[in-house]
Amino acid sequence: MSDKAARPPRLTRDRIVAAAVDIAARGRPDGLTGRALGEELGVDRSAVWRHFADKDALLRAVGDRLLALAYEQVPAGLDPKPRLEALARAVVAVYVGHPYVGAAIASRTTRGPGEFAVVDMMLTALAELGLSPGDVARYQRMLAVSVLSYAGVSASYAVLPQKVRDADERSWTREYYAVDAEEYPGIAEYATRVAEVDQDMVLDTMIEAFWTAVDARRQSNTDERNDSHD
């Protein structure tokens, strides 16, 4: 075998980010350390930092790749509403699937092509629904913050030890059922129904509330235009 054939692939930003995404998918808390990446790539840890200014730059690059993965999961040809719903669910799924990075990046802007593609999809879909330019921008930001907040919380929950998550889930049918009805009458009345609400229902309701707000705004704009023509 020649020296050229035995030479390992050249280390690039894309290879480092891909390796970090692979590590993040395994739920390892140290996925963005030079040591973990060096072991994954078979290089000295110092080589990683020749391609990124610092850990924050690496975090943003990996977070941007997660947004690109979510974007790629949205089927082509969907109408605006199902398109945005598919995007929202994909972002949550990808962040939970890479929980340590998802939790760390949810409150940040990644400033890369993955984020640009996601934001562009949101703006374009909302414009197709007939919102005014100002409302397109406002509701895009509302949707982005809502989805990323939910995805970040879900990712943070996913990295908790199983026994902690089990205890939290049991609290809805233990501690909440046992509260003093006179001191907490609302909890006493609705404890059973609150315990029935799962994470999927929360996301469904969040999306439903978003569309209620968007549809109300569209109707208000239509009424205003009709009044101006009278």
pLDDT at 30 over 90: no
Supply the pLDDT for residue 4.
53
Average pLDDT (95-106) is: 96
Quote the pLDDT of residue 225: 64
Average pLDDT over residues 15-39: 91
Q: Name the percent of the chain lying above pLDDT 70.
A: 93
- Region 177-199: mean pLDDT is 95
The structure's pTM equals: 0.89
Model confidence at 7: pLDDT above 90: no
* Res 20 pLDDT > 70: yes
pLDDT for position 6: 56
What integer is the mean pLDDT of 120-147? Answer: 97
Rounded CA gap, 141 and 222, in Å? 22
Q: Does the pLDDT of residue 55 top 70, yes or no?
A: yes
3-class secondary structure for the chain?
A: CCHHHHCCCCCCHHHHHHHHHHHHHCCCCCCCCHHHHHHHHCCCHHHHCCCCCCHHHHHHHHHHHHHHHHHHCCCCCCCHHHHHHHHHHHHHHHHHHCHHHHHHHCCCCCCCHHHHHHHHHHHHHHHHCCCCHHHHHHHHHHHHHHHHHHHHHHHHHHCCCHHHHHHHHHHCCCCCCCCCCCCCHHHHHHHHHHHCCCHHHHHHHHHHHHHHHHHHHHHHHHHHHHHHHC
Q: Give pLDDT, residue 1.
A: 46
User: Is residue 2's pLDDT more than 60?
Assistant: no
**Candidate from 37-41, 161-165, 170-174, 226-230 with smallest mean pLDDT:** 226-230
